[in-house]
Amino acid sequence: MARFLEVFRSGRCARAGRAPSLPSLRRVHVEQKVAFFHGDSDEVYGAPRILADLRADGEIVSRKTVATTMRRLELARICPKKSKTTTIIDHADAYPVDAVKREWDTGALDQVWVGDVTYLRAWEGGGGYLATVIDAHSRRVIGGAIADNMRTDLIEDALRMALVLRGDRPATVIFHSHRGTQYASEQITLFAAQNGITWSMGYIGICWDNAMAESFFATLKTEFYYRRVWPARRPRDPRRR
């Protein structure tokens, strides 16, 4: 084999008895940690998130090194689907002004809340609508409600949960949402006025105006919900066929 490969047998024997080099040991060490953090995330994280975990663990490594290591180990992240914009904007509509201007985190809790509603499908078609309220500073979901419809009560229930959970809070908190009919309804407008909530809305069809709330739903669906099979929200009626 040495003659076929045109290498010296003495060099082959010397290499076989040589201890692994520091770069090779470092490479194996990084590969093990990258594989661990990728598996610990339920095979969801990509290079940026794994890089953050590595640096939090005390490793000095670049993003390119993490990306190259993932390709070498054939590890892939979960990617969201591309969305399509189908809404037509009418700037003449009268809605509350955008008091946030995409500046979500003001450096303190209970200054800005963001909210949105989405549909979660189920295996038997009995899914439901989920409404959430997120604190823009902590990025924590502080209010949520789920129902089989998109009535205004769903939004109010999510807000009530946030108000109860927070308890003592500033006299006024900004709640930012899109311009959906539920959020712009008279019921929610009156509820906001009674509870010291200043309403803020982004423009129709511009997802970046409510990016924090929509990003949460994208993460929830892509990394958790769509990767599993869920039964109907309610037990199936045996009389139905």
Per-residue pLDDT tens for 193-225? 999 999 898 877 777 888 899 889 988 888 888
User: Is the Cα dihedral 77, 142, 151, 86 positive or negative?
Assistant: negative
pLDDT at 9: 77
pLDDT at 231: 72
Helices assigned H by DSSP within the chain? 2-5, 9-16, 22-40, 47-56, 63-72, 152-166, 186-194, 211-223
Please tell me whether the overall predicted TM-score, pTM, comes out greater than 0.75 for this model: no
pLDDT at 240: 43
Q: Taking Cα atoms as reference points, which of 109, 117, 179 lies closest to residue 144?
A: 117
Quickly name the fold that domain 112-227 has: Nucleotidyltransferase; domain 5 (3.30.420)
Per-residue pLDDT tens for 157-176? 999 999 999 888 888 899 99
pLDDT at 43: 84
pLDDT at 92: 52
CA pair distance 214, 199, nearest whole angstrom: 18
pLDDT digits (tens), the chain, 241 positions? 878 878 777 777 777 777 778 888 899 999 999 999 999 888 888 899 999 999 999 999 999 999 999 999 998 887 766 666 555 555 555 678 888 888 888 889 999 999 999 988 876 666 789 999 999 999 999 999 999 888 999 999 999 999 999 888 888 899 999 888 888 889 998 999 999 999 898 877 777 888 899 889 988 888 888 887 777 655 444 444 4
pLDDT at 86: 52
Retrieve residue 96's tokens: 């509350």
Q: Taking Cα atoms as reference points, which of 110, 98, 103, 114 lies closest to residue 172?
A: 110
